[in-house]
Chains A and B, each alone.
Chain A
Amino acid sequence: MRQRKIIPGVDAKLLIKDAAKLMPDRTRRGFLRGAASLGALAFLTGCDIIDGDTAEGVLRKISAFNDGAQAALFSRTKLAPEFPENALTRPFPFNAYYEEDEAPEVDVNDYLFEVTGLVDNKKSWTLDELHALPEVSQITRHVCVEGWSAIGSWQGASLADFLKRIGADTSAKYVWFKCAEGYSNTIDMPTALHPQTQMSFKFDHKILPRAYGFPMKIRIPTKLGFKNPKYVVAMEVTNTDKGGYWEDQGYNWFSGL
């Protein structure tokens, strides 16, 4: 991990602002206290359960169990449905935990995609080098954890091919992505190797606009939207679950579709 390294092309002020947002939110930390009495109802055995922390602990354990259930349910070959061009949602929504004008502005000239962890070739990649990779394309449904969905068109390189190209240990458990604004995600290796998981450089055949994650988004049509990181600046192949921005706050880790 190179946490202390200054990320090329990132506004330092913005980084601090976002780091502040990463601090635990008091209202969220206690999100189950208000529901404690209903929590007691939900468990016949409950007496300890009335304590909000215990209820949250139990729910998080069940969520971890659900990660396993979803991993078992996940098919390495089953493809997300694809749609025709005219099915595109226009305008495709911008979505983040910040406003659009606060989205990171990554400088192309400074940009380097850093690759670390269990890989043979740890060289960093310039955007030109990434754009030279064989292009794949998909029109798939983006499903937000909130419930809404939108159909988008993404072009870029196959992540599975890229992992092979850099000699990644594909028997490792996870791939971790780091984003310019401090956002992050860890995904499971089977999903990283899924044929539709894409390092996207274009939206609707045009270079990704800032709103959609310039210069790189990891498009994973088999996962909820928040597991599709934008403004990606680094990747690590690892056996350690390094969590993620929303996962650490209570969204289900696997969040498969």
Chain B
Amino acid sequence: MTVDIMPTRPDVTIHPDVAIHPPWVRVCHWINAIAIFAMIGSGWQVYNASPLFHSFQFSKHIALGEWLGGALLWHFAAMWVLVTNGIVYVTLGIVSGRFRRKLLPIYPSEVVADAKAALTFRLSHDDLMHYNAVQKLLYAGVMVTGILVVLSGLSIWKPVQFQELATLFGGYDFARYVHFVCMVAIVGFLVVHVALALVVPKSLRAIIGGR
């Protein structure tokens, strides 16, 4: 694949011939972005029908589907997009070696150091080819969360046919909390992810145009 060119070059940020994100990453990213917005928006509407936390409901204005029936139609349509795209992405990520190259290894000491640097605004984003330890942790973490949100969702959708899976998530009722907590984690990730993309516009350019 396409990495590790001339690490001694001073202008490592340019990489004139090498895409930062190959086409499959960009396509999967944007399909996923659409699917995840549809899943979260409709999921909020579904949540409102029977809130896990009685004092908390999502605003109707930001929830998708107008009522429970509409939201469920959205949720169970977008799930095919999310899961199909997710399987393609993870498969290519593993087979191409991209995940291993970009995301591993993750050392706790580096995560702590980079987190400190980030919080004091001293963490550089000069080289988009390489992720810092905090990025590695967040990207790997959101992928694991993505898998958990799908599996806990399957347990809620099919607690009879997939009852073994539901048991793994602590039974039907507990799986709802797992599903919710995963959603919160993904929304938390998205807030940071989108904010940083806006702070570092060239990263946005890279995920659209490749470089």
Interfacial residues, chain A to chain B (CB-CB below 8 A): 27-28, 30-35, 38, 41-42, 44, 56, 58-60, 62-63, 66, 73-75, 78-81, 141, 143-149, 221-222, 246, 249-252, 256-257
Contacts and interface: CB of A to CB of B under 8 A. Distances in A.
B163 interface: yes
B58 interface: no
B69 A81 contact: no
Given A141-B159, A143-B172, A38 B64 contact: yes
A61 to B, nearest CB: 9
B158 A250 contact: no
Contacts of B34: 41-42, 44
Nearest to B31: A44
A38 B50 CA distance: 23
A40 to B, nearest CB: 10
A38 B38 contact: yes
B160 A250 contact: no
B173 A149 contact: yes
B73 A28 contact: no
Interface stretch (B18-26, B75-83, B137-145, B192-200): B75-83
B161 A256 contact: yes
A147 B50 contact: yes
B37 interface: yes
B75 to A, nearest CB: 10
B74 A59 contact: yes
A80 B31 CA distance: 36
Which residue, B37, B46, B74, B78, has most C-beta atoms of chain A within 10 A? Answer: B74
Given A41-B37, A63-B77, A147-B50, A35 B66 contact: yes
Interface residues of B, number: 34
B68 A257 contact: no
B73 A59 contact: yes
Given A38-B38, A62-B77, A252-B72, A148 B50 contact: yes
B70 interface: yes
Contact of A35 (B50, B74, B159): B74
A59 B72 CA distance: 10
Contacts of B49: 145-147
Interface string B10-46: 0000000000000000000001001101100100001
A37 B156 CA distance: 29
- Which 3 interchain pairs have the tightest Cβ spacing? A31-B66, A250-B69, A147-B50
Given A38-B37, A38-B41, A257-B160, A149 B172 contact: yes
Contacts of A56: 73
Interface in B52-72: 64-70, 72
Contacts of A66: 76
A247 to B, nearest CB: 10
A141 B172 contact: yes
B161 A78 contact: yes
Contact of A60 (B73, B158, B173): B73
B58 to A, nearest CB: 13
